[in-house]
Structure 1
Amino acid sequence: MAVDSTWTPLEISPHDVGCEAEPRALIDYVRGEPDLTDLLAREKAVVFRGFQATPDALPGVLDELLPDRLAYVHGNSPRTKVGQNVYTSTEYPPEFTISMHNELSYGHAWPSRLLFFCETAPETGGATPVVDGERWLESLDADVRDAFAGGVRYTQNLHSGRGLGKSWQDTFETDDRDAIEGFLGDSEAEWEWRKDGSLRVIQRRPATTEHPITGTRVWFNQADQWHAAGLGSETAAALARVIPADELPQSVTFADGSPIPDTYVEQIRDRGLELAVDVDWHAGDVLLIDNVLVGHGRRPFTGKRRVLVAMSS
């Protein structure tokens, strides 16, 4: 089946729906939408622009679009919790590109929807690129797709309070080891508490998945983000000189433990970014995406960019 090469997110403005440019109008519009799930499955991503949403209005918008918000438990990127299961978007330095990915695709379960809210637009850059996961999968060379057919193996090394990467306390939003073990047991993960107080977690996951409504098969893993080659050849070489691969905060192999070639990782990263459509931010914009059908990332920026994110099952 041919993949649509012209896909872009649906944009909805007050003019489009015949209402005033105010946050209350957005809440009323979403509340009146007969089936938001079908809309999102069909359009994959929706930008609500021009409604002048504000931080004060955000809880009401979230209650309509994400009625069962999830905590960012087992998340691997640095964030700050700013409300009831509302977080800052990834806090990597602004000069870096964040490659395309589906949130928590390395986990046993993942959110079905993500919502982004722009509180402060950057001076330049800072778009959130989004990519059609079906197009991304089809763009990969056949030998790359075949190599990933058996899935991937993710390894996390989470320190106990001081070290490289995130601590296990921050990652799981608790210091209760029993609670963490219960979560990991339910996730079909392997884990080991180490002598230095750190936690090692190993998970084997498929590289693709099917959307529960449309049946569309999409690229759905974070191999390129967990692989040192995804950081660039110079950074990868520097890391290799000082830290063994299996001691990095996160690393990835094929499911059988064999290494993933750097060239595969670079192809996955680069083609996802090449296919992506940029959502440029204006203060008050809201972006809602289907987290299975669409991957997302971040372009470099200057200025004070503040984009908040929430997710739901």
Structure 2
Amino acid sequence: MEHPQTTKPNIKQLGLTTRKSVNISSEELVRTSYLQPESSLPLVVEPNLDNLNLAIWTQNNRSWIQNQILQHGGILFRSFNIKDVAEFQQFIQALSGNLLEYSYRSTPRNHVSGNIYTSTEYPATHFIPLHNEMSYSRTWPLKIAFFCIKKADQGGETPIADSRKIFSRINTKIKEKFLQKGVMYVRNYGVGLDLSWQSVFNTNNKLDVEIYCDRTGIELEWRDKETSGFSLRTRQICQAVAKHPQTSEIVWFNQSHLFHISSLEPSVRTQLLANFSEEDLPRNAYYGDGSVIEDSILEEIREIYQQEAIIFPWQEGDVLLLDNMLSAHGRMPFQGSRKVVVGMAEEYNSPEY
């Protein structure tokens, strides 16, 4: 159900039959609505004029967009006739300047052009749980945008959820424990199991990795690949919650529920534990003091994400802009081919570290 806030200008209102010029405000060039009457996430923005250039309109309306995204958490730009990746990139640059390189990555992606990447390249049958991008790190993008080039034949939606609501719904005792201890992420990099360190750090040079880890507070250990099966192990303690730099709102902001071994299917989990000690698993999450996070707690958190998920079908040409701290995102399983690309901007460093 839509609730348009502006109306499409009548051709006579444009003053084309007289010599008098008529100014149309930027807000009159678009209309806004909601996908679901019970939720203001995402705000839907559509053009009132054919061939309205999204990048140019954005350049002239940055303050309005910034205010709306802080209020709603995400904006779906629909029917702007975005033709290609170049136009998508121009939109992000018009709003936020230079795009960010996807470094210290946790999922496989392919480079498209510039700093535009494919969305996570997990098998189509896999559900990608809701999460905030790079919340397993001390540095993350404040903005993340998705562009649907080709929607799947079936499924393939990008569910989103309000991180403020996630935080408010988590049991107070659970929040207090995470707040006190933080989250420790342990990763082991090898060939054939998860990502290689070369892929994660975008380099083949060990010195580059050491410099990056030293700068970002990541503890690293080069290992004997012949005996351990892995060539690098990293540990980093990060925030469990975060305060938004502009709204000062507190949000749930970590990926313990993704990194923890309990996120794996039981058969995969059993197989890994049969072949590796817990400390040698490709990835795992602990409380910041190294103690085990209870499976039951993470299951409770996952259930809250599921209950708060907002799912809508992609339309080809859609651009979904999210405040990466205020909104989480994921991916539904799909059938057929699907192409959604991603760009990130506005790097932010956690003030806790």
Same structural fold, with TM-score higher than 0.5 when normalized by the shorter chain: yes
Q: Which amino acid aligns with 1:155?
A: V
Using the TM superposition, name which of 138-147 and 293-302 deviates more. 138-147
Which residue number corresponds to residue 251 of structure 2? 218
The Cα of 1:130 is off from its aligned counterpart by 0.8
Q: Distance in 1 between matches of 2:266 and 2:300?
A: 13
Q: 2:54 aligns with which of 26, 33, 37?
A: 26
Partner SS state of residue 141, structure 2: coil
Q: Distance in 2 between matches of 1:68 and 1:60?
A: 10
Q: Distance in 2 between matches of 1:217 and 1:10?
A: 21
Q: Does 1:140 align with 2:170?
A: yes
Q: 1:94 aligns with which of 106, 124, 134?
A: 124
Identity across the alignment (%): 33
Q: Where in structure 2 are the equivalents of 1:81-230 lying within 5 Å? A: 81-149=111-179, 150-159=181-190, 162-196=191-225, 198-230=231-263
Which residue number corresponds to residue 78 of structure 2? 49
CA contact (8 A) 1:19 1:25 kept: no
1:212-233 superposed Cα distances (whole Å, 9 cap, x missing partner): 0001100000001001111244
**Runs of 4 or more off by more than 6 Å in structure 1?**
none
Q: Which amino acid aligns with 1:110?
A: W
Which residue number corresponds to residue 314 of structure 2? 281
Distance 1:258 1:308, change over 3 A: same
TM value normalised by structure 2: 0.82
Q: Where in structure 2 are the equivalents of 1:227-246 lying within 5 Å? A: 227-246=260-279
Using the TM superposition, name which of 258-267 and 142-151 deviates more. 142-151
Q: Distance in 1 between matches of 2:344 and 2:110?
A: 14
* Greater gyration radius: 2
Q: Distance in 1 between matches of 2:338 and 2:303?
A: 24
1:254-283 superposed Cα distances (whole Å, 9 cap, x missing partner): 111111111111111221122011142111
Q: Which amino acid aligns with 1:26?
A: L
CA contact (8 A) 1:9 1:45 kept: yes
Q: Does 1:255 align with 2:292?
A: no
CA contact (8 A) 2:92 2:345 kept: no
Using the TM superposition, name which of 248-257 and 49-58 deviates more. 49-58
Bigger RCO (CA 8 Å, 6+ sep)? 1
- The number of equivalent residue pairs is 302
1:146-169 superposed Cα distances (whole Å, 9 cap, x missing partner): 33121111011112xx23111111
The Cα of 1:34 is off from its aligned counterpart by 4.1
Q: Distance in 1 between matches of 2:309 and 2:285?
A: 24
Q: Distance in 2 between matches of 1:310 and 1:213?
A: 21
Q: Which amino acid aligns with 2:110?
A: T
The gaps in structure 2 that reach 5 residues or longer are 1-37, 347-353
